[in-house]
Amino acid sequence: MRVGIGYDVHPLIEGRPLIIGGVLVPFGRGLHGHSDADVLTHAIIEALLGAAALKDIGTHFPDSDPQYKDISSITLLKRVGNMLLQRGLHIENIDATVVCEQPRLAEYINEMCRNISEALGLNKEQISVKATTSAGLGFLGEGMGIATHAVALVDKSK
């Protein structure tokens, strides 16, 4: 078995949709980034790449490459899932925590889990997504951005 840890953070900006876990979340600001800036999906990608010892998201999908401009991070997640399959790795489970003061994400978490599980060909029970705040502390607490921590457990295919 192998474990990978992922972390991602993006600043919130005006004039951009907020996409988390492949879900369009109604909010007055979105996350800044080259792709759709889906902070949850990016952290999961980082965790999966780490578990497979495949470097990081920027190695595979550089922000200097125009083909990734505004691309859906769920599309990138599917590609990473295929990379693991090609190496004979099976995803056991993924656990992630989104950290933000606003918006509240509870009503979107089931859809996020469904999007992630479908992208990776997993059962929804293999995906855990939680949301928390930073209790008003730091740049996250001031509502300047959103971060996500993720852990993935993978094993050789059965």
Task: For 58-115, write each residue's pLDDT tens digit.
Answer: 999 999 999 999 999 999 999 999 999 999 999 999 999 999 999 999 999 999 999 9
Measured distance CA(57)–CA(76) in Å, rounded: 9
pLDDT at 158 over 90: no
Which one-letter amino acid corresponds to residue 156?
Answer: K
Q: Using CA atoms, how far apart are residues 42 and 56, in angstroms rounded to an integer?
A: 10
Averaged pLDDT, 125-140: 97
Q: What number is the average pLDDT over the span 113-130?
A: 98
- Catalogue all structural domains in the chain, each as residue range(s) with its CATH number: 2-156 (3.30.1330.50)
Question: How far is residue 155's CA from residue 138's CA, in Å, rounded to a whole number?
Answer: 37
- Say what percent of the chain tops pLDDT 90: 99
Q: What is the largest CA-CA distance in the chain?
A: 46
Distances from the Cα of 70 to the Cα of 65, 74, 125, angstroms: 11, 12, 29
pLDDT tens sequence across 13-47? 999 999 999 999 999 999 999 999 999 999 999 99
Q: What is the pLDDT of residue 14?
A: 97
pLDDT computed for residue 27 by the predictor = 98
Q: What would the mean pLDDT of 114-142 be, rounded to a whole number?
A: 97
Q: How far is CA 73 from CA 27, 61, 69, 76, in A?
A: 19, 10, 11, 5
pTM over 0.95: yes
Comparing CA positions, the residue from 71, 80, 28 lying closest to residue 50 is 80
